[in-house]
Amino acid sequence: MRVTVPLLALMAPALSLAQPCTGEKYEGLVEEAVSLVTKNHPVLVAEREVYTEQSQQKNWNVYVTTGYSVTNTFESGEAGPNAALRVNVPLFDRTHKLKVATARRLLAREVNSVNRDFLTELEQVCIQATRVAELEPMRRFYKDRLKYRQQRVDDGVDEAESLWKEAEKVQLTENEWLGVRSKLTSMQLTTAREYGGTKWNRLRAILVEITNSNRP
């Protein structure tokens, strides 16, 4: 039996594939991720609480005075033991405003720092996702070529020993692909837990969407 050899089965594929972390949905997903990080990162939550506390705090001195009057007075009332609540409200003290401004500045600085670090981590996640995407066509190619070689052996055209080399390439490529994909999954989880606070699970889902954006 004569078998026609399809050239595509013997040629490695060109790596012209859609890259992850691109496409129409990419920017919107990144904005959603940054917004989630800004609201839920533990450091930013703590800094926001400090700022809120400073904003609501009154710069008043409140204290109670106690004493004993032997006669009736306008301030203490009837004679005998008494107590009074006194409130000192400074008219020109800027301490409160300065504390609020300092807390707001520290919060803004932390927001910028955390978001910058997060975007750096996201870039590394996308680089790893690209490595996974680059291996996928080679993985499919070697599997398809092994099937083709197997068919030739079944048809009596080639010896069974010719399959060993093809099977080895399939296994090596599969192991490499599994390794880089496992690392990508680990990076997504680590980044989500570090930056997502109590919403880390949602952040991980967004990271998966980002790395799958623009992929078939």
Closest alpha carbon to 86 in 63, 104, 119: 63
Q: What percent of the chain has pLDDT above 70?
A: 72
pLDDT of residue 78: 54
pLDDT of residue 12: 53
Q: Give dist(CA 170, CA 184) in Å, integer.
A: 21
Q: Which residue has the tokens 């992929």?
A: 215
Per-residue CA distances from 184 to 15, 20, 108, 133 (Å): 20, 12, 31, 11
Residue 209 has pLDDT above 90, yes or no: yes
Closest alpha carbon to 90 in 67, 59, 121, 50: 59
Q: What is the mean pLDDT of residues 72-89?
A: 50
Q: Give dist(CA 131, CA 182) in Å, integer.
A: 12
Specify whether the CB–CB gap between 126 and 211 falls below 8 A: yes
Residue 5 has pLDDT above 50, yes or no: no
Q: What is the mean pLDDT of residues 53-63?
A: 64
Q: Give dist(CA 25, CA 27) in Å, integer.
A: 6
Across the chain, what does the average pLDDT equal? 80
What is the domain partition of the chain in residue ranges?
Answer: 8-59+93-212
pLDDT of residue 51: 83
Q: Which residue has the higher pLDDT, 132 or 78?
A: 132
Q: Which residue has the higher pLDDT, 114 or 53?
A: 114
Residue 40 has pLDDT above 60, yes or no: yes
> For residue range 137-178, what is the model confidence (pLDDT) as tens digits?
898 998 888 888 888 888 887 788 878 888 888 899 999 999
Specify whether the CB–CB gap between 59 and 90 falls below 8 A: yes
Q: What is the mean pLDDT of residues 56-60?
A: 63
**Which 3 state secondary structure label does DSSP give 97?**
helix
Q: Give dist(CA 23, CA 39) in Å, integer.
A: 26
Which residue type occupies 151? Q
| Angle formed at CA 58 by CA 94 and CA 84, multiple of 5 degrees | 115
Residue 67 has pLDDT above 70, yes or no: no
Which residue type occupies 80? G
Q: What is the mean pLDDT of residues 6-22?
A: 59
Residue 183 has pLDDT above 90, yes or no: yes
Q: Which residues pair with 77 in a beta bridge?
A: 73
